[in-house]
């Protein structure tokens, strides 16, 4: 039986939307109200790292930062995602899901997840465990996300009010069951 309130919030965003900051503030509000929140958000990097296109994730539970980029050297054009860093991030997320938090936040459903890799398995495990999850979905991956989620999600605009309203409906349904 499908619950009335989808336990998956797909936070759709464009290039200029502050999705990561919005998800981080959402997680902070939940923690402040006594909820256990786990997940990964984009980490703030120094300006030089940002110019190079480096990416890192911050574990919401520990605050640890995990780099998910590798230096391929000057002139390299290949994918800079570091498989070891991504595997570490995935392991952290899987461990957090095993602890059954009240909510999980995942910064992005991107190219790797659209291909069935990246953090796709961890997102699926969270859904299978029935844990409410917020996933950032860049507009360019919306079609792939829709195929992945199969209509089980609540598509949300990149707005705090929409995310908060989703949580209120999920929390109310959880309290009623």
Partners of 136 in the β-ladder? 11
* Residues whose CB falls within 8 Å of the CB of residue 79, separated by 6 or more in sequence, listed in order: none
Looking at residue 5, its pLDDT comes to 75
pLDDT given at position 92: 94
| Ramachandran quadrant class, 116 (left: phi over 0; alpha: psi -120 to 50; beta: rest) | left
Q: Which CATH number fits domain 8-176: 3.40.50.300, 3.40.190.80, 3.40.225.10, 3.40.50.970?
A: 3.40.50.300
pLDDT of residue 153: 97
pLDDT at 120: 95
Residues whose CB falls within 8 Å of the CB of residue 159, separated by 6 or more in sequence, listed in order: 22
Question: For residue 75, what pLDDT is reported?
Answer: 62
pLDDT digits (tens, 9 = 90+) for 122-154: 999 999 999 999 999 999 999 999 999 999 999
Asked if residue 38 has pLDDT above 70, the reply is: yes
Domain boundaries, the chain: 8-176
More confident residue, 107 or 47: 107
Neighbour-count burial for 129-146, b at 16+ CB within 10 Å, e otherwise: eebbbbbbbbeebeebbe
What pLDDT shows up at residue 93? Answer: 95
Beta strand pairing call for 37-42 and 65-67: unpaired
Radius of gyration for the alpha carbons in the chain, expressed in angstroms and rounded:
16
pLDDT digits 0-9 by tens, 48-103:
443 345 678 999 988 998 888 766 556 655 556 677 888 899 999 999 999 999 99
């Amino acid at each position: 039986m499908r619950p009335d309130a989808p336990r998956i919030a797909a936070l759709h965003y464009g290039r200029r939307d502050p999705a990561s900051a919005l998800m981080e503030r959402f997680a902070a509000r939940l923690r402040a109200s006594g909820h256990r929140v786990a997940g990964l958000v984009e980490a703030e990097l120094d300006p030089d790292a940002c110019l190079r296109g480096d990416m890192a994730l911050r574990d919401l539970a520990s605050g640890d930062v995990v780099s998910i980029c590798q230096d391929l050297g000057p002139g390299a054009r290949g994918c800079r995602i570091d498989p070891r860093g991504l595997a570490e991030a995935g392991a952290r997320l899987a461990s957090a899901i095993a602890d059954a938090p009240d909510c999980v936040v995942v910064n992005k459903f991107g190219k790797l997840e659209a291909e069935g890799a990246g953090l796709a398995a961890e997102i699926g495990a969270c859904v299978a465990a029935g844990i409410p999850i917020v996933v950032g979905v860049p507009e360019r991956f919306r079609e792939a996300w829709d195929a992945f989620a199969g209509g089980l999600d609540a598509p949300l605009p990149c707005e705090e009010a929409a995310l908060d309203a989703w949580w209120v409906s999920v929390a109310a349904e959880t309290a009623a069951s």
